[in-house]
Amino acid sequence: FCHGEEDNRVYELVSPYNFLSSYQDLVGGDQCMLVNSSGARFNTSELMTIIEKAMEQEMFSPDLAHFNGSLGDFFDPRLDELLSSQNLDPEMSEALKYRIPQLGCVTLATDSLYDLGAWGTSNYKDCGGDQILKWKNGT
């Protein structure tokens, strides 16, 4: 992914060559479906609300700037607390405990949230524009 169009050197370098396309249409509205390995569908709206809350209010909390440790050390206990407050079945809670940090890793371009310092991550600046530009196949 290429996250953002404004003040993003990757976007500036590749945009003239039409290598990127937006992933927005595939994840917006009712286009996203969450299923388990048995094929059972989940309430996507409810789960997306939990995921957004975890990412926006917990992972990038204002308290992050004052935490001495990794982003994983900061986020995991807060995610556990959030998930336990949602009255989810244990299987769903475990799946989200895996998936939400994975989404954070994609956003922050890291293999593990434990590889990033909390304080440094608190200074992360989103580039404006489309946050989920993907590389076109064959490029």
Per residue in 96-127, is it b (16+ CB within 10 Å) or e — as a string?
bbeebbeebbebbeeeebeebbbeebbeeeeb
What pLDDT is attached to residue 10? 93
Domain layout of the chain by residue ranges: 38-126
> What six digits make up the tokens of 52?
């957004």
Per the rule left: phi > 0, alpha: psi between -120 and 50, beta: everything else, 37 is alpha
Per the rule left: phi > 0, alpha: psi between -120 and 50, beta: everything else, 39 is left
Per the rule left: phi > 0, alpha: psi between -120 and 50, beta: everything else, 70 is beta
What pLDDT is attached to residue 117? 94
- Which pTM does this prediction carry? 0.77
What pLDDT is attached to residue 31? 65
Would you state the torsion angle of the CA atoms of residues 57, 62, 77, 97, taken in this order, to the nearest 10 degrees? 30
What pLDDT is attached to residue 29? 58
What pLDDT is attached to residue 53? 94
Spell out the per-residue pLDDT of the chain, length 139, in tens. Answer: 888 999 999 999 999 999 999 877 766 656 677 777 888 888 888 888 999 999 989 988 899 999 999 999 999 999 999 999 999 988 889 889 999 999 999 888 899 999 999 998 888 788 899 988 988 876 5
